[in-house]
Amino acid sequence: MNNIVVSLDIGSSKVCVLVAEINKKQFNVLGVGTSECKGVKKGIIVDIDSTVDAIQSAVKQAEHMSNREIKSAFVNIAGGYTTIYKNKGVIAVTREDREITSEDVARVMQAAKVYAVPADREIIDIIPEQFVVDGYGEIRDPVGMVGVRLEVDANLVVASCTTVQNIIRSVQRAGLAVDGIIVEPLGTSSVILNDDEKELGVALVDVGAETIDISVFKNGSLVLTKIIPVGGNHITNDISIVCKISSQEAEKIKRQYGTASVKMVRNDDIIKINNIAGRGEKEIHLVEIAEIIDARISEMLYLIKNELHNNNLLGSLAAGIVITGGGLFNIRGIQDVAQSYFDVPIRFGYPNYIGVANPIYSAATGIAMYALKQKRTSIVNNKKLVERGEVAADREADEKEEHRPGLMDRIREFFADFF
């Protein structure tokens, strides 16, 4: 039985494709591919052609590494571009023995989908909060229980039809079928957060290249998802403008020397970098770089805190805040600075699996894990079998060509019919 899943993370700076499987209850990464993407701005696809090229490039890398041919994938959508509606579904258990089956769960979930959403939006996922059997609630899985009436309190995840269709169109034009669209924080949380954190109350802050996706979990459920249009690229742009250097050079400096606080560098620390267009070198004080990064990070932390405060959630984060994503990963001291800004526990999270132990793979790894937990898989072929099939077909064609009679053979056969 195929237990392989392919996840596709379409981000503002990169596209990541991951091939994974569950083998003996162990999550294994079989292949991964990344490619620079210039077709997405602030989490929204603005150039389908560029996005398609990035997807195809990442897919080729993942295919080569996993030795598999990818035919379909699960794709992400940023949580901040979705809306959560609460709804209830109710059905009667029709079996004679009143035992609740997985079919009953599917029916009650379908009943919860009956909701009047705006014409320009569509339901992309449904998340059960609790099941209720004959009035007894807080049930996580009712299968096997006995009852007459089954209810579910569910969260409907709704997104813009335009956003969803552009995602699907890009994936299909890249040659893949879409297995499903998964809300990014639901996937990311499955590999970054533990069950206790989700129960107590935790904020998952995913800092990307151009956006910060804030997701709050309480009592095991996603209760808030917001997006802030600021990310790691803004730090790079600030360094580029202030220091009058190229974006590529600014990114290198941020990754190599970036610190979250001015206190972490000495006033006499100096580096030499290339001027724009390669016109000689110039000296830059690292304290100047630190001041630029410090100011932008302070703004990011303020916006995060303000969003949580406005939704009355800051005081209910017993498990604190978990930061992930590649936007701030390479900046030294970010955890300490964030800890001093918020009066709650802070930690940095990333997937703890071989080959993807980096925050830039948080979304792709989470999407794969989320799909596998729901026992959903992708269409993936073993490349060796595909190649054998192609070789066999070529060999059969060659044999047919060898046995095809030539011109002289056909002439002899013609005269043999008469003499």
Q: What is the pLDDT of residues 40-68, one digit of tens each?
A: 988 889 999 999 999 999 999 999 999 99
370 belongs to a structural domain: no
Query: Does 221 score more than 80 pLDDT?
Result: yes
pLDDT of residue 23: 82
Residues 346/228, Cβ–Cβ less than 8 Å: no
111 belongs to a structural domain: yes
pLDDT of residue 406: 54
pLDDT of residue 395: 52
- Which of 131, 162, 193 terminates a domain? The answer is 162
Closest among 325, 328, 384 to 360, alpha carbons compared? 325
The span from the CA of 167 to the CA of 187, in Å, is 17
pLDDT of residue 271: 82
pLDDT of residue 266: 80
Residues 127/107, Cβ–Cβ less than 8 Å: no
pLDDT of residue 418: 40
412 belongs to a structural domain: yes
Query: Does 384 score more than 80 pLDDT?
Result: no
Confidence (pTM): 0.82
Residues 283/270, Cβ–Cβ less than 8 Å: yes
More confident residue, 42 or 200: 200
Query: Does 24 score more than 60 pLDDT?
Result: yes
Residue 408 belongs to what domain range? 381-416
Mean pLDDT of the 25-49 span: 91
Question: What is the distance of C-alpha 384 from the center of its chain?
Answer: 29
Question: What is the distance of C-alpha 243 from the center of its chain?
Answer: 34
24 belongs to a structural domain: no
9 belongs to a structural domain: no
Ranges of beta strands (E only) in 134-269 are: 136-139, 149-160, 177-183, 202-207, 212-218, 221-228
Query: Does 141 score more than 60 pLDDT?
Result: yes
Q: Give SS3 for 410.
A: helix
Query: Does 171 score more than 60 pLDDT?
Result: yes
Query: Does 419 score more than 50 pLDDT?
Result: no
More confident residue, 96 or 273: 96
The span from the CA of 286 to the CA of 160, in Å, is 44
- Which of 136, 162, 188 terminates a domain? The answer is 162
Mean pLDDT of the 315-322 span: 92
pLDDT of residue 275: 67
401 belongs to a structural domain: yes
For 323, phi then psi, to 5°, come to -100, 135
The span from the CA of 304 to the CA of 292, in Å, is 19
390 belongs to a structural domain: yes
Give the CATH number for residue 109: 3.30.1490.110
156 belongs to a structural domain: yes
**Of 232-236, 239-243, 365-369, 394-398, the least confident:** 394-398
pLDDT of residue 278: 59
Residues 198/188, Cβ–Cβ less than 8 Å: no
Query: Does 16 score more than 60 pLDDT?
Result: yes
Query: Into how many domains does the chain fold?
Result: 2
- Which of 162, 183, 206 terminates a domain? The answer is 162
DSSP state for residue 71 in the 8-state scheme: -
Closest among 346, 350, 348 to 331, alpha carbons compared? 348
pLDDT of residue 393: 46
pLDDT of residue 146: 94
